Amino acid sequence: MNFLPKFIRKMYFRPDSSREPGFVLLPALSSAPETGVEFGGAALYSFYTDPTDRGTRVSSLFGYSTLTTKGQTKLSLNANYWTPQNKFHFTVNTSYYNFPFNFYGVGNNTRKADADLVDERRYKYSFNGEKLIGDNIYIGFVSGFFKYFYKYDKNPHGILNTDPDVQDKRGGSNVYVGPSFTFDNRNNNTYTTRGMIINAYYNVIHGVFANNSYAGGFFNIEYSQFFQLAPKFVLGVDIQEQSLTGARSPFYLLPQMGSDELMRGYYGGRYRDRNYIAGQTELRYRIANRFGLAGFVGTGEVFHSTFTTAQLKPNYGGGFRYFFDVEKGLAVRLDYGVGQQPAGEKRESGFYIALGQSF
């Protein structure tokens, strides 16, 4: 690869044993009628707080930013910090979105015909801190602030305005704080081949400013476990449950199905309700140090109060992995996911490019 510029070789072809800090860029380019051309990219800086201790996990700074020709913006800055010997773990997330999205209503059986293009402006900040208190057990807290604003009068006949199940159409400002618990005995936090992680937290949410009457909560628990079936084969299992608590149901706080990590193939937010449960298994094959393949299958649903197996939606797909930093287990991931085919609609599907594993 000597014909490539040095900075390209350093980003994408780092030596296998390097424990030095790394930096990588991933460009982004897309186009849609509602946004025009969207361009930007993501950047990841990875490092060890103690390079001499091979047990200390990889820390990272991650940024993502795009701009469209119609003036819409996405900006996200995230930090994931492990102190030496993993005694403390901190995450910080800050984001600003001024971007449209398709809103389909509330429930597990929304219709594509009801799609309502909604302009969303949101600000989010969160801080999570955990301390190692015993063998693989962390106790800590979560806290943050978010503000959502919607141009609810843009389409007075759209589902955002006409559906009685949609609450708090104008958005709102909220603060939250709550406890967190993690059990984590994974052998690696970026490319796990053995071990398990269970993470749970509860946000006590209260409205502020113009929305100071809102009070509720948000519960999340996720379990992931990995089994090394053979030197090049790893099987991962991932199950997540989310619930919004309290008397009111602001639509922007409802758990949503679909992302580049879980229930791949579904448009993020196409299905949303007070409760969400989903699971997946992924078989990972490491072709070589720098290349891997993955196949996945899963199922999930959102529901208001009653879970029923008859409402579960399927997903399946596969993807390719390129490990640009073999020592840290950092990879660029390309996935294609397929979901259900609702009556009278095309089968749901999605293509994803991301940094890191899906779970």
**Topology at the third CATH level for domain 101-355:** Porin (2.40.160)
pLDDT of residue 138: 98
Q: Give counts: helices (H), strands (E), the chain.
A: 2, 16
Interval 165-174 mean pLDDT: 92
Cα distance between residue 85 and residue 132, in whole Å: 10
Whether pLDDT at 153 is above 80: no
Given pLDDT bands bounded at 50, 70 and 90, which one contains residue 152?
A: low
Sign of the Cα torsion 47, 52, 53, 54 reads: positive
Rounded to a whole number of angstroms, the distance between the first and last alpha carbons of the chain is 31
Phi and psi torsions of 25, nearest 5°: -115, 145
77-136, pLDDT tens digit by residue? 999 999 999 999 999 999 999 999 999 999 999 999 999 999 999 999 999 999 999 999
Interval 340-356 mean pLDDT: 95
Whether pLDDT at 10 is above 90: no
Interval 252-274 mean pLDDT: 97
User: Does the predicted model carry a pTM greater than 0.85?
Assistant: yes
pLDDT of residue 212: 76
Given pLDDT bands bounded at 50, 70 and 90, which one contains residue 5?
A: confident
3-class DSSP assignment, residue 112: helix
Among 287, 276, 275, smallest CA distance to 319 is for 287
176-194, pLDDT tens digit by residue? 999 999 999 999 999 999 9
15-45, pLDDT tens digit by residue? 767 788 999 998 988 888 889 999 999 999 9
Chain-wide mean pLDDT for the chain?
Answer: 94
pLDDT of residue 38: 95
The burial class, CB within 10 Å (0-12 / 13-18 / 19+), for 261 is: middle
pLDDT of residue 151: 79
Among 122, 116, 119, 107, smallest CA distance to 162 is for 116
Strand (E) or helix (H) holding 195? strand 195-208
Given pLDDT bands bounded at 50, 70 and 90, which one contains residue 13?
A: confident
Describe the chain by its helix, strand, coil percentages, rounded to 5. 5, 60, 35
pLDDT of residue 76: 98
| Structure-block tokens of residue 76 | 């996200």
Among 189, 194, 198, smallest CA distance to 223 is for 198
| Segments making up each domain of the chain, as ranges | 101-355
Cα distance between residue 205 and residue 207, in whole Å: 7
Interval 275-281 mean pLDDT: 98
3-class DSSP assignment, residue 135: coil
* CA 316 vs CA 8, 37, 282: distances in Å: 34, 29, 10
* Residue 107 DSSP code: B
